[in-house]
Structure 1
Amino acid sequence: MGELAAASKVHVMVSYWWSRGDSLANYQLGQILTRAAGVDEADITDSQSIDRALRIAVADPAVLAELDQWWQMVETRRAGNTTRNPGLGLERSIRYLTDRLDAVTVTPEALGECRRQVAAVDQTITGAKDLPELAHPDAEMLDLLARYREARSRVLALA
């Protein structure tokens, strides 16, 4: 594989695995990119910042090799499971459910929307059950899951 093709593949794979939201792995990526891009700190929460830093980083063969190892390590750590960290969208889902359930009147349409949201979140959580975020949850994830459980229970109670 040519240098340009290798750099392109690593850029795409690192971007993809970054987007899965593995906090520990992304912290490590931030450290690599900060060193490589020559900036004070790469913003690992911003896709444009990651993309800019990656364009700079893959031009250096040593950093390219380190990034190639990084994405393979993340793929292994997550056992190839491509499910995003469920914690990334859980706050938004909880807010969506509670906003609709706290309305003066919960219409049948709103209840149907809530049921679909619960089904989607349940599927994401089930798909991520073996991932580090759920296998070894931190306090923030435990809080989000407890709040989701409450909102979910309210939806199911109205069924």
Structure 2
Amino acid sequence: MGELAAASEVHVMVSFWWSRGDGLANHQLGQILSRASGVDGVDITDPQSLDRALRIAVADPAVLAELEAWWQMVETRRAGNGTRNPGLGLDQSIRYLPDRLDADTVTPEALGECRRQVAAVDQTIISAKNLPELAHPDAEMLDLLGRYLEARSRVLALA
């Protein structure tokens, strides 16, 4: 594979695994990119900042090799499971359910929307059950899961 093709593949794979939301791995990526760019503080949460930093980083063969090792490590850590960190959208889902249920009138349509939301979140959690975020949850994830179970219970009680 040519250098340009290798750089392109690494850029795409790093972007993909970054987007899965693995906090520990993304912190490591931020350190690699900060060292590579010589700038302390690549904004690892901003897709455009990440893309700019990756374009610069993959031009250096040593950093390219480090980034390739990084995405392979993340892929192994996540057992090839490309499911996003469920905590990324869980807070939004939790807020959505009580907002709909606390409305003056809970219509059958609103209840149906809440049931679909619960089913979607349940499926996300099930598909992510072996990921580091759920296999070894931190206090924040435990809080999110507890709040979700409470909101989920409210929806199911209305069924």
Q: Which residue does 2:56 correspond to in 1?
A: 56
Q: Which residue does 2:115 correspond to in 1?
A: 115
Q: Which residue does 1:88 correspond to in 2?
A: 88
Look up the equivalent residue of 2:109 and give its one-letter code. Answer: E
How far does the alpha carbon of each residue in 1:101-147 deviate from its partner, in whole angstroms, 9 at most, with x for none? Answer: 11111110000000000000000000000000000000000000000
Look up the equivalent residue of 2:56 and give its one-letter code. Answer: I
Offset at 1:39?
Answer: 1.6
Q: Which residue does 1:36 correspond to in 2?
A: 36
Distance in 1, matches of 2:38 and 2:151, equals 45
For structure 2, the residue ranges without an aligned partner over 5 or more in a row are none
Look up the equivalent residue of 1:84 and give its one-letter code. Answer: R
Distance in 2, matches of 1:38 and 1:46, equals 18
Q: Which residue does 1:102 correspond to in 2?
A: 102
RMSD: 0.5
Tell me the secondary structure at the aligned position of residue 20 of structure 1: coil
Q: Which residue does 1:153 correspond to in 2?
A: 153
Distance in 2, matches of 1:74 and 1:117, equals 29
Q: Which residue does 2:27 correspond to in 1?
A: 27
Distance in 2, matches of 1:108 and 1:97, equals 14
The reply on whether 1:16 has 2:16 as its aligned counterpart is yes
How far does the alpha carbon of each residue in 1:60-116 deviate from its partner, in whole angstroms, 9 at most, with x for none? Answer: 000000000000000000000010000000000001111101111111000000000
Offset at 1:28?
Answer: 0.2
- Stretches of 4+ aligned residues off by more than 3 angstroms: none
Tell me the secondary structure at the aligned position of residue 84 of structure 1: coil
Offset at 1:7?
Answer: 0.2
| Structure 2 length-normalised TM | 0.99
